[in-house]
Amino acid sequence: MAREIKLDGGEITLLKKIGLSGTQVYGKMLIDRTEGMETAEFLNTLTGLIDQGYVISNKVNIRLIEDVERAFFRVNAAYAKDLRDAVNPGRRREQERTPRRRRG
């Protein structure tokens, strides 16, 4: 059963920068990729995604940008498909519109 996940713009941006494939991203590299975001917005969004269980980190407490620099992040594999659909909602709608063919 698919979960209905609603994401805001900052969350979508951060998930795209982390990548939905499940590979780890070093925190310093993540900061470099999201240089357009304010530090407070970046930290709030990242901790929100971690609190919801969508992103997994090897550090427990992420409160400062220095904590992010020394951590690794990846998308939780249990939510990967649903997050992919939430990040690209048009793709999901196309799949829903495709009529099923009967075998017979």
Residues 6-39 have pLDDT tens digits of: 899 999 999 999 999 889 999 999 999 998 899 9
Residue 20 lies in a domain: yes
Residue 1 lies in a domain: no
Q: Is 11 exposed, middle or buried (0-12, 13-18, 19+ CB in 10 A)?
A: buried
β-sheet bridge partners, residue 26: 72
Q: How far is CA 69 from CA 30, 47, 54, 58, 73, in A?
A: 8, 14, 19, 12, 10
Mean pLDDT of the chain: 88
Tokens of 37: 């975001």
Domain total for the chain?
Answer: 1
For range 51-58, the mean pLDDT: 95
Q: Mind listing the pLDDT tens digit for each residue in 57-93?
A: 999 889 999 999 999 999 999 999 999 999 887 765 5
At 64 the pLDDT is 95
Residue range of the domain that includes 38: 9-90
pTM for this predicted structure:
0.82
One-letter amino acid at 91 equals: R
Residue 24 lies in a domain: yes
Residue 95 lies in a domain: no
Residue 3 lies in a domain: no
Secondary structure (3-state) at 26: strand
At 98 the pLDDT is 61
Rounded to whole angstroms, how far apart are CA atoms 9 and 93? 19
At 100 the pLDDT is 65
Residue 101 lies in a domain: no
